[in-house]
Structure 1
Amino acid sequence: MAVPGRATRRRIVALLALYLAAAAGLTGRIAYWQLVRGEELSRKGEAIRRTESRIRAHRGPIVDRNGQPLAVTVTAEAIWANPRDVEDKEGTAAILAAILQRDKADILQLLQKQTYHVYIARRPTEAQVAQVRAYKARGELKGIELEPGARRVYPEGDLAAHILGFAGIDNQGLEGLELRYDEQLRGKDGAVLYEKDARGYQIPEVPRAIEPPVPGLTLVLTIDKSLQLVVEQALDRTLDLTQARRAAIMVMETATGGLLAVAARPAFDPNLGGQSDPALRRMWLVADQLSPGSVFKPVTMAAYLEEGLGTPTTPFSDPGCFVVLGEQICNWNHRGFQGTLTDVMRNSSNVGFATLGIRLGRDRFYKWLDRFNLTRPTGIDLPGEARGAQVPRERATDLDLAVQAFGQTLTVTPVQMLAAVNAIANDGCWVQPHLALEFRTPEGEVAFRPQPVRRCILSPETARQVQQMMTEVVRAGTGRSAAVPGHEVAGKTGTAEKFERGRKVEGKYIASFLGFAPVPNPRVTVLIMIDEPQGLTYGGQVAAPVFSQIIGDILRYLEVPPTSDPGGNPAPSGPGAGGTQGPGAPAGVPAPGTPAGAAPARGRGRVPDPRGRAL
C-alpha cells in the first residue's frame, strides 16, 4: 500500500485546518447570534409576527350639574375596504359614491391603493350604513366592510356649543372643554395582540392577548341646562330685536365662581365638528380684548373707597365737562350736578370717575387693576384665554388715568370683567371663573374636584358700600330698565366705543350690563354684551331690559323669595307667597326635579322692548 507523500500530508493538514477554522468561525458566529444577539433577534421576530389591534376607550360624557347629558359617545360604524378583495372597483366606487354623495373618482382612488385596509367613510350616517348593509346582504360590494366604532354626539345641538367645543373622529378633543379636558375624557385605549403569517392573516392556533381599555371620566359641569336654555332663548330674541353683530350672556354663581350659563350668538352645531364655520366657533368671551366701557366704573369706585379717599356720601361737584392735559372729558349728556359719590355712580359720570382715577394716582390705580385680576388671565378652564391690555404703567399720564378710570382705552376680556365685578358682589373676594364641577368614574364615584383660586381683595365693608351704590343705578339711575319687581338688584350699564387697528370706529358700540342679585347676599352675577346693536345703542336701553328678564327667571328657578311685592311693599310669607307659578318655575324653565326630557322646547317668546327707555 502506497504511503502518502509529505506534500499530500501537508495538503490534508491544511484542508483540515481550514475546515476546523471554518467550523470554529461558524460555531462562533452561531454563538454570537444565539448568545449575544439572540434576545434582540427574538424580539424582532416576534415584532414581525405579532401585531396589535387597538380597542378604543369609551370617551367620557359631559353632563350639566344635574346630570343632564350635553356630550355623549354612541356606537357607530365606519365603512372601510380591503382593496385587494374588491374585484369590480369601478362598479363598487359608483355604488359607494351614490350612497355617500361623494365623487366617484375620489372613492376609486382609495380602492386602487395597494393595501389591506383603507377607510372609505369614518363617520357615515345611519342611513348610509343601512344602505351598505343592504347591498352586502345581496352579495354585492365584495371587499367593503363595516367596522364597529364610536361617534361623539351633542344631543342638544348648538346648546352651550362655545364651551363644549367638539371632538374629532379619532376620539381626541379639538376645541372647548373637549380639548381642555381631553386627557381626562378620552381614557386609555386597550389592545388585542395576535400573530400573523407572511400574508398578513391571523394565525388561529396562537392565542390572543387582550389588554382591556379604560373608559374616560365623566365631566360634570357647573352649567345648569335649564338656565342655559333660558339664556340662549333670551339671546336669540335680543339679536332679532337689535340686529346686532353678535351678543353674549354669562351667568356666574357669585360665591363659587362656577358658571351656570355661558352663551354666545351666532352659534354653531358641534355635531358638524370641523366642518362648521371657524368664525362662529371663536369663543370671544375669553379670547377677545374689548373696551369695557362704564361697567368698569365699579372697579374704580371700589379702589377709591378702599384706599380711604372717600365714602359714598362724600360731596362731589360735577361740572359736566372738564379738561385734562388739553383734552376735554364730558359726561354722556354733558350735564353736571351737585351731589355725592353715590350720585357719581348713579349718573354714570365720566367726569366723576375721571377725577377719581386722577386722585388715585398711577401707583394705586395700577395696583388695583392687578388686584382685580385685570392684568392677567383668569385661568378659566377654556383654551385660548387672552388678557386685557392697559397703557403701560410707566408711561401713564393723568389723561390716561382719567380715561381708563371710566373704562375706555384699556381693554379686558369679558370673563375678566365678570370676575372683577363678581368680587364686589362676593363681599370683596375674587373667585376664579370655572366650568368643571367634578369628575366621576364610570361607576359614579367622584374621582376629583378642581379647586378654583379664591382670594379676598376688598374689605367686606367697602364691597357692600359699592353694592349699595350699584343698587342706586338700578333704582334711580342709568339702569332703571334692569329692575326686577320684588327684588333688589344691583348693576352698571355700559356703552363702549369700538376700535379697529387703533382707531375709533364711529357709530359702532358695545352695549352692556353687568349686575348681580339679590342684594344683599347676591346669588348670581350676570354679564350681558351686545356688539354693534342697530338703532338704540346705550347699555341702559338695550342690555338692561334683557338683564331684568333673565334675572327674574333665574331667581325664581333658584327659589329665591322676593323681598317685596311689585309695588315695593314687603313680600308676604308662608304657603302660596310665591304666586301662582310658585318658586322655581319661571316662564320657560322647568322647576328643579323636573324629569329628564321635560325641559321646554327652545323657541321664541316675549322679550322686553327697550325702545324709548332711559340709558
Structure 2
Amino acid sequence: MEEQALKKKKHVSKVKVRKRTRSVAFSLTAIFAILIIRLSYIVMVDGKDYSARAEEQWTSEVKIDAKRGEVLDRNGNELAVSANVYRVDFDLNSIRNYLKRPAKSIQNKELSHMKSVGIPIPTEGSGLTNDDIAPVIAKVLNMDVSEIKADLEKKLPSGADAFSVTVARKIEKDIADKVKELNINGIIVSQDTKRYYPNNNFLSHVLGTTDPDGKGLSGVELQYNSYLSGIPGMKVAELDKNNEDLPYTVSQYTQPVNGKDVTLTIDENIQNIVENIAQKAYKDDKAKEVSILVMNPKTGEVLGMVNKPDFDPNNPYDGASKFDGADLNDKIQKMWRNRLVSDTFEPGSIFKVITTISGLENNVANKDTQFVDNGSISVGGIVVKDAERENKLQNLLQIIQNSSNVCFVKLGQMIGKDKLYESINKFGFGKVSGIDLPGEASGIVKPIDKVSEADLATISFGQTNTVNSVQYMAAFNAIANGGTLIQPHVMKEITHNDENNVKIVDETFKPTTATVASAEKTAELRSYLEGVVTGGTATGTFIDGYHIGGKTGTAEKVVGGKYGEGKYISSFVGMAPANDPKVTVMITVDEPSNGEYYASQVAVPYAKLLFTGIFDYLNSASSNEKIVKDIIIPEVRNMKVSDAEKVLKDKGLDCNIDGSEETIVSMKPYPGSSVKEGSKITLYTSGDATYNNNVVMPNVRGYSKEDATTLLKNLGITATFEGNGVVSVQNISEGEVIPKGTTAELILSSYYED
C-alpha cells in the first residue's frame, strides 16, 4: 500500500511539473509573441520616429544657404543683387567641449587671448559655463544675453541637447570679424547673403521683394523664386556617445548650388525716363496714382514699367501707412501691388481702337464711311452725348480724331454684338494676358447673352467692360505689329555661370502668339491713329519729324459699384513710328485733382515728354535700336556752298557737291521733301537752273500756326489760315511739286476734350 501510494505521489508530481512547464512555456511564448508584435509595431509604425531620434543623437547637421541669383536689366545692369554679408552659427557640441576644458589643458597663449576679449579663465578642475560666455558673445553681436543663452541651451524636439543653431543672419563684416576674434571653438562665421536693391525704389513693383530668409514675396522675386533661390548645401558629421566627432569618419558635405540669374526685358535707361515722368505727373497733377508702361510691340517685351506711389524694396514695409487698407497687412499688400497688372478699370475712349479694328476687319466701315453726329443719341433707354460739340458729318478718321461717342455707338451697332464680341475675345479681353508677374487680374467682360442694346452702345466707346493695362497693351501691340497678339513678358533669359565662369543660357522666354487681325487693316488703323496726333485729341503729343500714332481716353471711375462724382482716369496710348512701330506706350493718371481731368489736358503732355525721352535715348550711341527722325529739306539754292553745307548739317543732313562753282543752282530732292535724318542731298553748282522755282509741299498737319508759317515761308509758299489751334487740314497734298509763290490753305483745329 505504501509503495502504491508513493508511486501515485510521484505521478502527481510529474503531472504538476509538466503542467508548470507547459504554463511557463506558454507564458514565455506569449511574452515573446508580445515582444515580436511590439517590435514589429515599432519597426513598421514608429520606426521613422525612432530612426529620426537616433539620427538626432548621432549626427550633427548644419545647413549652408545658397547665394540667391541676381536680377539684371537687358543690358546687364544690376537691379537686385545678394550683397556679401555674414552669418553666425553655433556648433553646440564643439562649444560644450570648449567649455569643459580645465585651465591646465589650455595653453598660455590662448588663456591670454581669452582674458583680452573678456572671456573668464576657467578654474582648476572645472571648466566654463554658458553664463560665462553668453555676455561676451551678446556684446559683440549687439544682442540680449538671454537670447544668446537660449541658443546655447537649445534642445531638440526629443528633449536632447541640440547640435547646432543659427544665431545671427546678414551681419556686416566688421561685426563678423569681432565674432571671429573671440576665437571660441564652435562659433562658426560664414558668408551669408542679403538682398540688396542698388537703385532703391527704381522698378520696385516689377522687382518685388523678399522675406528675411531670401524667399520671394512679390514681383519677379516671387515669380522666379525657384530659379533665383538655388539649392542649399549641407554638412553632416557623425558623433560618438560623448557628442564628439567620430574619428576616421568623413563628414558629409553637399556644396550649395547658387541661384540662377534672371535677365529682364527692362531697359534701365527707358525705366529712368518713365520713373521721372511718372513722378512728375503724380506730383504736378496731384493724382492718386500714376502708371506708365513702355513695350516693344514686335516681341511683347516690357521695356519700362512704373507705378507711383511706390516703395523701397530694401525697406519693404516702410510707408505702408499712407496706403488704403483695413489693417497693416492690407496696406502693405496695396503698396506692393503692381497696379498695371492687378488693377482693372473701364478703359474709356482708348477702347475705340478695338471697336475700330473690329469694324475694319468685319468690313462694315472704311475710310469712306460717313457718320452723322447730331451731338447725342438715344439708345436702349440711355442718352449718349459727346464731350464738347456736334461735329455733323464725319468719316472714320474724323470720328477717331474727335473721339465721338455718338459715332462709335453707331459703329458698334453696324458691327453688332456678336461680331464685336468675337473681336473682344480674339484680342484677349476677359482673360489674363499671361504676363510673367504675379497677381494678374483678368478684367470683366459682360456675358454676351446679357448684353443689352444699351450695353452694346457703351461697350463700343469703352464703358461697361473692364481691362487691366497690360492686357490692353497686348491688344494695342497687335495693332502696332500688324495683327499678332503676343504674350507680354518681363523675363528675357535665365542664366548661370559654369565652373569656368562662362555664361550658360538655361532658358529664354518664348511668348505665345496668335494672329488676330490682318496687316492691311491694322496699317489702315495706324494711319488713323497718327491722325489723332496730327489733328485730333492728342495733338499735344506731336513732335516734328516723328510719326506718332495715339489715342486718348477719359474714363469715369467706378467707385462702390457706381460712377464716382468727379473721379476720372485719364489715359493715353501711343506708338512710334506709326508706319512701323518699334515702341508702344501707355500712360494712366488716376484721379488727377489739379483742376483738369481730360486726357488731352492731363496725359497727353506727359506722352510728349515720354516720346521725346525715348527718341533721344534710342537715337543715342548707347542704343542699338534707332527711330530715325524725318527731316524736311530746307531751301539752300542760291546760297554759297559753305553756307548751304552748314544749313543742311544743322538739320542733320549730309550732302554731295556736284560741280566746282561757288553757288548752289539746283538740288535733289527738292526743298520741302521729307527724308530721313542723315540722308545725303545732292547739290549742283553748275548746269540748268530752270527748276529753281519748284518746291515740294510738306506735311504740316499737327504744326502750330507759327511753326507752319515759318516752314512754308522758308520754302517760298504762302499760307492762309482758318480757325484756331493746330493745322488739321491742308488743301495741297504732301509731296506735290508746286512752284514758289503758291498759296496753301490750312485749316486749324483746337484739340477736343477727351
Same topology, TM > 0.5: yes
2:596 alignment partner in structure 1 = 536
Q: Identify the match of residue 521 of structure 2 among 462, 469, 475.
A: 462
CA distance in 2, matches of 1:199, 1:332: 87
Cα 1:181–1:225 change in 2 (3 A) is same
1:111-164 per-position Cα deviation (integer Å, ceiling 9, x unaligned): 68644555554334x2xx62474477478x999764431122112212111111
Q: What corresponds to 2:483 in structure 1? A: 428
Structure scoring higher RCO (CA < 8 A, sep ≥ 6) equals: 1
Question: Cα 1:132–1:48, aligned 2, differ >3 Å: closer, same or farther?
Answer: closer
State yes or no: 1:514 paired with 2:557.
no
Contact 2:88/2:168, CA 8 A, preserved across alignment:
yes
Q: Distance in 1 between matches of 2:341 and 2:545?
A: 33
* d(CA) in 2 for partners of 1:305, 1:136: 74
The residue aligned with 1:404 is 459
8 Å CA contact 2:485, 2:515 repeated in 1: yes
Pairs within 5 Å for 1:128-143: 130-131=174-175, 133-134=177-178, 137=181
CA distance in 2, matches of 1:105, 1:355: 78
Residue 545 (structure 1) aligns with:
605
CA distance in 2, matches of 1:106, 1:293: 62
Q: Does the alignment pair 1:570 with 2:579?
A: no
CA contact (8 A) 1:321 1:334 kept: no
Q: Verify: 1:473 aligned to 2:509, yes or no.
A: no
Distance in 1, Cα, partners of 2:420 & 2:30:
86
In the alignment, the residues of structure 1 paired with residue 633 and residue 314 of structure 2 have an alpha-carbon distance, to the nearest angstrom, of 44
Partner SS state of residue 561, structure 1: coil
% identity of equivalent residues: 30
Question: Do the aligned partners of 2:573 and 2:584 also contact (CA within 8 Å) in 1?
Answer: yes
Given that residues 475 and 483 in structure 1 are in contact (C-alpha distance below 8 angstroms), is that contact kept between their aligned partners in structure 2? yes
User: What residue in structure 2 maps to residue 226 of structure 1?
Assistant: 269
Q: Give the AA of the match of 1:325.
A: G
Q: Which residue of 2 aligns with 1:256?
A: 299
Say yes or no: does 1:237 pair with 2:292.
no
Deviation, 1:528, is 0.6
Change (3 A) 1:58 1:36: same
Q: Determine whether 1:160 maps to 2:203.
A: yes
Instruction: Give the match for residue 368 of structure 2.
Output: 313
Distance 1:6 1:35, change over 3 A: same
Which amino acid counterpart does residue 609 of structure 2 have in structure 1? Q
Q: 1:358 to 1:35 in 2, by over 3 A?
A: closer
Cα distance change on mapping 1:188 and 1:48 into 2, 3 Å: same
Q: CA deviation at 1:35?
A: 13
Task: State the SS of the aligned residue for 2:200.
Answer: coil
For 2:669, the equivalent position in structure 1 comes to none
What is the CA-CA distance between 1:12 and the residue it aligns to? 11
Contact 1:478 1:614 in 2 (8 A): yes
Deviations along 1:165-217, whole A, 9 cap, x unmatched? Answer: 12223232221111111112222222222112446444354211222222222
Question: What is the TM-score when the length of structure 1 is the normalising length?
Answer: 0.82
1:323-472 aligned within 5 A: 323-443=378-498, 444-472=503-531
The match for 1:498 is 557
Specify the alignment match of 1:600 in structure 2. none
Q: Residues 504 and 545 (structure 1 numbering): CA distance in 2 closer, same or farther, change over 3 Å?
A: same
Deviations 1:475-530 (A, max 9, x none): 00000011122101100001111111101111111111001000211001111111
Shift of 1:539: 1.0
Paired amino acid for 1:262? M
Distance of aligned partners of 1:46 and 1:34 in 2 relative to their CA distance in 1, 3 Å threshold: farther
Q: What CA distance in whole angstroms lies between the structure 2 residues aligned with 1:108 and 1:209?
A: 28
- 8 A contact 2:628–2:676 mirrored in 1: no
Q: How has the CA–CA distance of structure 1 residues 77 and 93 changed in structure 2, closer, same or farther, with 3 Å as cutoff?
A: closer
> In the aligned structure 1, how far is the partner of 2:74 from the partner of 2:190?
35
Contact between 1:419 and 1:431, CA under 8 Å: does it hold in 2? yes
Counterpart position of 2:74: 65
Q: Deviations over 1:286-313 (max 9, x none)?
A: 1111111111110001001111101022
Alignment CA distance shift 1:450-1:106 (3 Å): farther
Aligned counterparts of 2:448 and 2:59: Cα–Cα separation in 1: 64
The alignment's TM-score, normalised by the length of structure 2, stands at 0.68
Residue matched to 1:594: none
Report the CA distance shift for 1:92/1:36 in structure 2 as closer, same or farther (over 3 A): closer
Is contact 1:486–1:571 with CA below 8 Å preserved after alignment? no
Q: Which residue of 1 aligns with 2:131?
A: 87
Q: More deviation in 30-39 or 302-311?
A: 30-39
Distance 1:34 1:283 in 2: 58
SS at 2:67's partner residue? coil
Maintained 8 Å contact 1:486/1:566: no
Task: Tell me: CA distance 1:53–1:89, structure 2 relative to 1, closer, same or farther (3 Å).
Answer: closer
1:331 is matched by which residue type in structure 2? D
Deviation of the 1:555 alpha carbon: 2.7
Q: Answer yes or no: is the 8 Å Cα contact 1:313–1:342 preserved in 2.
A: no
Q: 1:37 deviation in Å?
A: 10
